[in-house]
A = this chain, B = another copy of it.
Amino acid sequence: MKGASKTIARVLEEIRKHQRFCIIGHQRPDGDCIGSQIALTLALQNDARDVVCWNQDPVPHKLQFLDPSHIMSCPTAEQPFDCVIAVDSASLDRVGEVVDFISHRKVLINIDHHASNTRYGDLNWIAPAEPSSGELVYRLLKAARWPIKNQIADCLFTAISTDTGSFQYPTTRPSTYVIAGDLVSKGADLSTICDEVYQSYPLPRVKLLKHVYNQFKLTNDNEIAYFWLRPADYHRTGATRDDTEGLIDHIRNIEPVVVACLFEELEPEVIRISLRSKSPLVNVSDIAKQFSGGGHKAAAGARVTGKPMTIQRRVVKAIRSALKEGKQADRISSR
């Protein structure tokens, strides 16, 4: 924690030198990215700095309430900046096309909570123990004594809440709850956040869910669940890629299921596979590696070319082997 305070002090010292800022985040931004970007932008604007807030992709529909005055935009021309601050972005690649517009800068600050962060900044504040980047921005604002007004409170609460699965993930720390409480006391509007972020699904998403519940398959004594998404499913339902977020959790959460898999046909014979494991005995990143992919123990993926049914057979077979090996290892260790 002492190290963190020093890093925060260094980041603030750097920020205080500059006037023209650009706040960037990763492509296909989520709640943590959008909330952190807008909160930091507002805080710097309140402190009389010139700030632009850029993302390659637009603010997702359900997060647009965080940006009523359209602070966030997509860059169209290069601008000179004193200081570019990247938030929630594990690598410069993740920032996408925005990287082409920020080369006129004096310094790049990198604020993130992903352990895989490549430390691409001139100054890096990487805190893998924190469950969200929103929590880092909160700490920065507190250290700077910049006021946390209503809209900032909404942004930071949304950032922290979405990246902890509504304070459910085991990564959530005691201090996370304390910060959430502080943000509510500072005016975070739970009613709106709850309605917009968690309790509002566009009709196309609902039609996709119907598809999932009708199409998913169970195998290996209900331990493996999988379903397919094909271009025709998007056409039929009017859904976009945004609407697929979290779909796999609906089959992951079925009680007997240990490994869930989503097969997504991106183009003819180009399939993206997404894998989720509920058991410490099954590491889905090992399975993804067999298909030249990667990820974490509990969530991984790969992109595979070939005939859909052949890929499905190979992937399901690999999952089945991993389940079998997991059980054998468990039996040996419990002897």
Contacts and interface: CB of A to CB of B under 8 A. Distances in A.
Interface in A177-206: 177-178, 180-182, 184-185, 190-191, 193-195, 198-203, 206
Contacts of A65: none
Contacts of A245: none
Contacts of A199: 168, 249, 252-253, 278
A238 interface: no
Contacts of A190: 168-170, 172
Chief secondary structure at chain A's binding surface: helix
A203 B256 contact: yes
A27 interface: no
A167 interface: yes
A274 to B, nearest CB: 16
A198 B203 CA distance: 24
Given A177-B177, A185-B174, A198 B255 contact: no
Interface stretch (A5-13, A107-115, A209-217, A322-330): A209-217
Contacts of A222: 203
A196 to B, nearest CB: 10
A91 interface: no
A170 B185 contact: no
A165 interface: yes
Contacts of A249: 199
Contacts of A193: 168
28 contacts: A161-B167, A161-B168, A165-B194, A166-B166, A166-B167, A168-B193, A168-B194, A170-B194, A172-B190, A173-B181, A174-B185, A175-B181, A176-B181, A177-B177, A181-B181, A195-B278, A199-B249, A199-B253, A199-B278, A200-B253, A200-B255, A201-B254, A203-B222, A203-B254, A209-B213, A210-B214, A213-B213, A213-B214
Interface of A: 161, 165-170, 172-178, 180-182, 184-185, 190-191, 193-195, 198-203, 206, 209-210, 213-214, 222, 249, 252-256, 278
Given A168-B190, A214-B214, 20 more contacts: A161-B167, A166-B166, A168-B194, A169-B190, A172-B184, A172-B190, A173-B181, A175-B181, A177-B178, A177-B181, A177-B184, A181-B181, A200-B255, A201-B255, A203-B222, A203-B255, A206-B254, A210-B213, A210-B214, A213-B213
